[in-house]
Structure 1
Amino acid sequence: MADFLGMMKQAAQLQSKMKALQDELEHVEVEGVAGGGMVTVRMTAKGEAKAVSIDPLLIKVEEREILEDLLVTAHNDARRKAEAAMQEKMQALTGGLGLPPGLGLG
């Protein structure tokens, strides 16, 4: 019974740490880049877009499709970096316990 209570206490501590991690991830920002730096997207590690920067040279009506593609590419680059930042924080928190993806996240 003592082992079970100890496990429950550890689970509660882990849940508390997971909540703190979620709060921290709102403040971790990454930047995705496309077009050799002509388009950048900044977002939180939780995936909330914060800013978009576009080089003025790209703002031409005839270049609209290129700009749209670069925005998507920069966003996807930022998203990958956000996921990597989240994974890094999770590894530090769980110590490599191998918990299922999404456990306690939301």
Structure 2
Amino acid sequence: MAEEKEGKGFGFGLGKMKELKEAFAKAQQVQQGAQELQQELEEMDIEGQSSDGTVKVIMSGNQEPRNVEISPEAAQKDAAELSELVTEAVKDAYNKSTATMREKMEALTSGLQLPGM
């Protein structure tokens, strides 16, 4: 005859169920925070500029290009020089935007500790 095993369930004790419930609650908080962060990033204006400051690029916190400002001094340059200045400004805005996004995501998820991870 096979012996019946009592109280084994799925291997989760009550303590584990409580931890799991808390982890789900934290995950829901992070999801809500992520939605709010997404909106905040969309509304941000982050400015990047060329090394000489003659070209400026405005990007959202989600790396959406918004505006390019080319000064009269930059407009006097030849096409290759102007292209380089615009590229520098785009890279600067992109780097600032991604750094801002990373910092905010790290702050949002810093309190999340899932059991078993």
Flag the structure with higher helix content: 1
- Segments of structure 1 that go 5 or more residues without pairing to the other structure are 99-106
> Distance between the aligned counterparts of 2:111 and 2:26, measured in 1?
15
Give the paired residue count. Answer: 97
Match of 2:101 among 77, 83, 86: 86
- Segments of structure 2 that go 5 or more residues without pairing to the other structure are 1-16
Match of 2:29 among 8, 13, 17: 13
Flag the structure with higher strand content: 1
Code of the aligned partner of 2:102: Q
Code of the aligned partner of 1:43: M
Which ranges of 4 or more aligned residues in structure 1 deviate by more than 6 Å? none
Match of 1:51 among 42, 45, 67: 67
TM-score in terms of structure 1 length: 0.81
Q: How does 1:1-106 map to 2 (within 5 A)?
A: 1-60=17-76, 63-95=78-110
TM-score in terms of structure 2 length: 0.74
Instruction: For residue 29 of structure 1, report the CA deviation from its aligned partner.
Output: 1.6
SS of aligned partner of 1:36: coil
SS of aligned partner of 2:52: helix
Structure index of larger Rg? 2
Instruction: For residue 68 of structure 1, report the CA deviation from its aligned partner.
Output: 0.8
Q: Deviations over 1:18-49 (max 9, x none)?
A: 11111111112211111411001011110011
Identity %: 36
